Chains A and B, each alone.
Chain A
Amino acid sequence: MFRYIVYTFFAGLSLLTGLSSLSKSQTEPIDLSEEQGIYTKIYNAPLRVYGESKINRINQLYQQRPLLLAFVYTRCTGICNPFLLQLKETLELTHSENNFQVLVVSFDSYDDTSTMHQAAIRFGLNNNPQWTFGVTDRIDSLNKSVQFAPAWDSIRSQFDHEALIVGINNQGYITKKLLGIRDIHDIKLMISSINNEFIPSYRLPGKNNLLSCFNYDPKTGKNTMAIGFFIIALPATITLIIILTIVLFTSKRKTL
């Protein structure tokens, strides 16, 4: 009787462990384009900031403290306002105002220092030393260096663009990008990343990476197990086939 209790225990345990292995990956879903252009240097664009003559270029900011660079424009009737508002509130929740600063740059040639200053007032950030609102005369080069590509829609008189934050460390390297309105977890990761702290990342599957362990679905933002994971079971499978083959070939020649 005792042995059957032991067998049942092991059978149950095997079932449990088998089921638990089917649970999903620990990775957070990430956007493919966020991975592009990481660890390249940001274009050191000239800057103009309302009432500020000392700041002439971006490097003057990131050399002081690592930088979060946000792209907006003041005529925006879409994502820009909720994006900036959410960023402001999220950053307040991180309680880490000393180890980074924020630069908000307009990518619309319509904007100038005063419209950006008005935007800063509107968000209650005009007197916040952590935040800088500015414009640049070399926005195309800046956009190109972070692979940001807003497209003008003449029918709506609006830019078709993504809500982009670029994390830049104090050497001017892009360490992380975030697209869209993101939660505090992602923002904290970005702050760690621009302060040169380790951020876990997993190389995304490319055309030449045929045996990835995960498949990323950009539509759902989810990772699912891919062929690579099944290859891990291949040695055991081949061994089973070898044993069964041996057994098959030797079954008629038993000497016992």
Chain B
Amino acid sequence: MESLKLKKITALWIVTVITLFIVAIVLGLLMRLNQAEVISEEPLTFYSNMTTHGLMMIGIWFVAGMVAVNYLLQRYVNTSYAVSVFAFVFTVIGVVMLWVSTFIGKFSTGWTFLYPLPFKDIGASSWATPLFLLSLTVLGVGWLVWSVAMMAQIFRKYSLSQAFAWQHLFKKNPTVETPPFILITTITLVGVIASLIAAVIVIILYFAEYFSIGGFVNDALLMKNLIYFFGHTIANEMLYLGVAVIYEIFAEASGRPKWKTTWYVSLAWNTALIFILTAFFHHLYMDFVQPQGLQIVGQLASYLASLPSAAVTVFSIIVAVYKVKTNWSIVNLLFFLGVAGWVIGGMGAIIDATISNNIVLHNTLWVPAHFHTYNVMGNVLFSFAFFYWFSTQNINKLIMSNLTRVTLAVLIIGGIGFLMAFYIGGANSIPRRYSVYPAGLASAPYLAKIGFTFAILYLAAILVFFFNISKRCFAILSTPSSPA
């Protein structure tokens, strides 16, 4: 089925992703320690760490989803090994360039690099901005080529209507069945490609202003719209990559029959595509020049983007396990918990995406609370479920050892405690992105300390997972290739 070469590159990706994840967690821990006033970082160091942490987390979990989808796609279509290697090389180069721009050049605008911050003198080296933009270019090119290549392989086998499962909308038993994995992957890749193209346009516009030396200036509103088209959409799509993997593996890992595409699954994901691409407008609620109509679109799309896909997925998961004998393993447990985290984080997001709430919650700790929820306790668990599944494919029956149970419990306790510190802070209007809190926010350093403590537990669990998964991945990497 899946070739050894594909297995090897997937194993390499997995080890790289988890290693980078641990580095990014450490940066996050340092930020919380600084906010807790346990250590004292220079503001520039804090913000360059924040920039690296944010961009790395987005990048890591996006590629983790892509790696999983790329591997599983091989079951239906031929995927290119060369393109996967190409994307890996570009990702590594891009990350190194990013680190140089932030750790050495002190580029520190935050991962959203909102205009005109990259051009403001806030203490970074003069070369840091172009290097940061170049790092994004390298990452963007690698990922765009990867996404387009996958999309091309899908369309080699499936027609446009089949890939989007339109035949399921009007016929109960269509002659050609589209697997849910193909449907969700296609829908997600459309969003991924659109968001990466938005990033390309943003980078071109930044470079145009940089090299024109005043001859051309950008429009702040346009830049913010494009940046969130890219940033919000890709942050959402990486979740959907994880959901595609759930549709493919969850039933299999639970010893249940494979899920099929029905008319409501097709409808949910096709409508989700439209709403995912327009939900980013909710990032501009505070931008008074944004037309009011787009603010309304932002709110409606935020509701409608998450509800159909989440509702259908949750329904499918519950039906799959409710009063059904299920072979629970670390794989389907992580998927199950991940869906719960995704839904809880999604609720937090919907609360924040409601205009009347956003007036209160905007730029408070509620924002990192919700997006950390569906990443830390959602997307990360999806990916780790895949990593476990991938690395244990040769094992007939996965047994949950006591160590695994304890590790999982520590992960959940750590994750929930870490997130609660954010949620309580957000509900108390503590602002986000402060390196040091002013004296008036007395509870903020205290909450940061609590958040840090629980995050240590989470990190400990991740380290155990890393050890378990990476030793098996290294075994795959060291498997000799059979002679041709």
Contact = CB atoms under 8 A, between A and B. Distances in A.
B132 to A, nearest CB: 21
B342 to A, nearest CB: 23
Interface string A26-44: 1100000000000000000
A200 B288 contact: yes
B190 A243 contact: yes
Contacts of A236: 194, 277
A202 interface: yes
B297 A20 contact: yes
A195 to B, nearest CB: 19
B195 interface: yes
A100 to B, nearest CB: 24
Interface stretch (A57-65, A157-165, A177-185, A246-254): A246-254
Contacts of A127: none
A211 B297 contact: no
Interface stretch (B29-37, B209-217, B382-390, B423-431): B209-217
- Per DSSP, chain B at the interface is helix
A212 B278 CA distance: 20
Interface residues of A, number: 47
A251 B160 CA distance: 9
Given A10-B271, A203-B220, A247 B160 contact: yes
A13 interface: yes
B78 to A, nearest CB: 9
B350 interface: no
A220 interface: no
Interface residues of B, number: 53
Which of A25, A225, A232 has the most B CB atoms < 10 Å from its CB? Answer: A232
B349 interface: no
B126 interface: no
A248 B214 CA distance: 42
B219 A21 contact: no
B222 A250 contact: no
Given A208-B215, A210-B216, A254-B159, A231 B264 contact: no
A250 B219 contact: no
A78 B291 CA distance: 38
Contact of B152 (A17, A25, A212, A250): A250
B339 interface: no
18 contacts: A7-B169, A10-B271, A13-B304, A20-B293, A21-B296, A202-B288, A209-B217, A214-B289, A228-B219, A231-B226, A235-B201, A239-B194, A239-B197, A243-B193, A247-B159, A247-B160, A250-B155, A255-B156
The 4 closest A-B pairs by CB, nearest first: A23-B293, A235-B198, A228-B222, A21-B293
Given A21-B294, A23-B291, A26-B292, 16 more contacts: A3-B169, A6-B264, A17-B297, A20-B296, A21-B296, A21-B297, A25-B290, A235-B229, A235-B230, A236-B194, A238-B194, A238-B197, A239-B194, A242-B151, A247-B155, A247-B160
